[in-house]
């Protein structure tokens, strides 16, 4: 794959010095966004061309690094499905809405969602390194008004200061790592000045779509605000390149625990073997697979959604069959907001007399007798 990626770079970005290619700002400046850009480097199908002609429903933007990966990947079709618009985005199915998590109603102050008692989620950026076609926040990312201004930040800080029960602050967006390291440093300093904020969490796709973003400077900034956990978003084992491995290595060395959040996507990763390769690859990079999300019911994403039954089956092929370190929780976020729900295959079958009946990973019913009082 590395050879294919190098060839891609030579063919489509000739004369770009290594220094530029490795510079995350160069990558962002040179994102592919217009149909001509994609026509040149990946070619477009008739359907993709038609989607561009209609004007895509969600923002389009792909770093040259990630485009090279799509071009060089053996499962090209899978990765390109996640970044290129298709006319299926105009098919709105029953139950699909623009704000599937009802976040607009849960915004305690603009840019802050307070759903759970002890943690809040903050949109610190409206931009992403690369835009996903299944984005649950398509209503706001890449659109005017989604940026964090100083007044909005001041109001967010004031809210968190008043809410002494908030132990965790999740930086999300958009992608928080699109912000400059200096800007991030100021945000993190402001949060660390609040005594009851115990843990800071960063949710990002940048280490995967633009691993060049994980510079020494960024790692130092993040490392100075411990305890800080980073959760990266990835969907396919072909995304786990040498560069991504090196980015994770730098983060781990700075003492930053790494988790992964994945989305189960039809035609991309909805097979037990692919998910297994993905979680194995993550654990090798010292990233714990945390959540596997059922694709939210965002308008125009029906072509990505797997039947729940199938999602549960995929989970059943992981638990026990591979290391527990490699097994994420399958989560759904029912419409309207109110929080995520884990979906586990039912390992608890019931009671018979004094025995609990439980199901093991091979589907055998096993007995467990409790020898405790009461
Ligand atoms: C997902 C989410 C969180 C974090 O939930 P965890 O289960 O702790 O990962 C917090 N706030 C909101 C609004 C969320 O959607």
Name the band, by pLDDT with cuts 50, 70 and 90, for residue 374: low
How confident is the model at residue 143, as a pLDDT?
Answer: 84
**H or E stretch including 120?**
strand 119-125
**Tens digit of each residue's pLDDT (9 = 90 or more) over 196-214:** 999 999 999 999 999 999 9
293 lines ligand 1 (CB under 6 A): no
CATH topology of domain 103-340: TIM Barrel (3.20.20)
Task: Say which DSSP state 99 is in.
Answer: S
Name which residue sits closest to atom 7 of ligand 1, judged by CA: 340
Q: How many residues does the chain have?
A: 374
How confident is the model at residue 180, as a pLDDT?
Answer: 97
- Kindly state the average pLDDT of the residues 242-249: 98
How confident is the model at residue 366, as a pLDDT?
Answer: 96
How confident is the model at residue 369, as a pLDDT?
Answer: 92
Name the band, by pLDDT with cuts 50, 70 and 90, for residue 114: very high
**Tens digit of each residue's pLDDT (9 = 90 or more) over 50-109:** 999 999 899 999 999 999 999 877 667 899 999 999 999 999 999 999 999 998 888 999
Average pLDDT, rounded, for the chain: 94
121 lines ligand 1 (CB under 6 A): yes
Nearest atom within ligand 1 for CA of residue 231: 9
Residues β-bridged to residue 97 = 298
- Kindly state the average pLDDT of the residues 237-257: 97
Q: Which residue has the tokens 């790692």?
A: 219
d(CA 72, CA 52): 23
How confident is the model at residue 213, as a pLDDT?
Answer: 98
Query: Does pLDDT of 171 surpass 90?
Result: yes
Residues of the chain with CATH 3.20.20.70: 103-340
Tell me how many helices (H) and strands (E) the chain has. Answer: 15, 13
Nearest atom within ligand 1 for CA of residue 106: 13
Query: Does pLDDT of 370 surpass 90?
Result: no
Name the band, by pLDDT with cuts 50, 70 and 90, for residue 290: very high
* Residue to mutate (ligand 1; options 203, 257, 339; most atoms within 8 A of CB): 339
Helix, strand, coil distribution of the chain in percent, nearest 5:
40, 20, 40
Nearest atom within ligand 1 for CA of residue 119: 10
Structure-model confidence comparison of residues 334 and 154, the more confident one: 154
Nearest atom within ligand 1 for CA of residue 114: 13
Nearest atom within ligand 1 for CA of residue 101: 15
How confident is the model at residue 310, as a pLDDT?
Answer: 95
**Tens digit of each residue's pLDDT (9 = 90 or more) over 292-331:** 999 999 999 999 999 999 999 999 999 999 999 999 999 9
Query: Does pLDDT of 365 surpass 70?
Result: yes
Please provide residue 62's backbone torsions phi and psi, each rounded to the nearest 5 degrees: -135, 130
| CA distance readout (Å), 369 to 8, 113, 324, 353, 360 | 61, 44, 24, 9, 15
The reported pTM is: 0.96
Q: Report CA(172)–ligand 1 centroid distance (Å).
A: 10
* Residue to mutate (ligand 1; options 108, 109, 116; most atoms within 8 A of CB): 116
Q: Are the CB atoms for 283 and 326 separated by under 8 Å? A: yes
d(CA 139, CA 255): 35
113 lines ligand 1 (CB under 6 A): yes
122 lines ligand 1 (CB under 6 A): no
Q: Report CA(339)–ligand 1 centroid distance (Å).
A: 7
């Amino acid at each position: 794959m590395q050879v294919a990626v190098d060839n891609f770079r030579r063919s489509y970005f000739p004369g770009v010095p290594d220094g530029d290619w490795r510079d995350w700002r160069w990558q962002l400046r040179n994102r592919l966004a217009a149909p001509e850009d994609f026509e040149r480097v990946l070619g477009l199908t008739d359907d993709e061309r038609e989607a561009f002609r209609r004007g895509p429903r969600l923002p389009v933007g792909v770093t040259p690094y990630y485009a090279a990966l799509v071009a060089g990947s053996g499962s090209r079709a899978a990765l390109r499905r996640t970044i290129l618009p298709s006319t299926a985005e105009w098919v709105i199915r029953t139950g699909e809405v623009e704000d599937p998590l009802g976040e607009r109603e849960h915004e305690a102050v603009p840019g802050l969602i307070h759903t759970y008692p002890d943690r809040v989620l903050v949109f610190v950026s409206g931009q992403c390194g690369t835009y996903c076609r299944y984005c649950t926040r398509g209503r706001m990312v890449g659109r005017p008004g989604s940026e964090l201004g100083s007044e909005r930040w001041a109001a967010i800080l004031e809210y968190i200061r008043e809410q002494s029960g908030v132990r965790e602050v999740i930086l999300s967006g958009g992608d928080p790592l699109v912000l400059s390291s200096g800007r991030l440093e100021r945000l993190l300093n402001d949060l660390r000045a609040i005594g009851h904020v115990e843990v800071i969490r960063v949710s990002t796709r940048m280490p995967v779509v633009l691993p060049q973003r994980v510079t020494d400077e960024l790692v130092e900034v993040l490392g100075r605000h411990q305890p800080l956990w980073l959760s990266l978003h990835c969907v396919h084992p072909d995304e786990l390149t040498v560069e991504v491995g090196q980015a994770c290595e730098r983060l781990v060395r700075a003492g930053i625990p790494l988790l992964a959040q994945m989305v189960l996507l039809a035609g991309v990763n909805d097979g037990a073997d692919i998910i297994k390769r993905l979680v194995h690859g993550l654990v090798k990079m010292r990233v714990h697979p945390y959540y596997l999300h059922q694709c939210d019911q965002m308008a125009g994403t029906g072509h990505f959604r797997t039947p729940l039954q199938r999602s549960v089956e995929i989970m059943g092929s992981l638990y026990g069959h591979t290391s527990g370190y490699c097994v994420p929780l399958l989560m759904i976020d029912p419409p309207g907001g109110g929080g995520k729900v884990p979906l586990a295959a039912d390992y608890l079958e019931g009671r018979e007399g004094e025995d609990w009946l439980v199901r093991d990973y091979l589907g055998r019913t096993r007995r467990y007798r409790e020898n405790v009082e009461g």
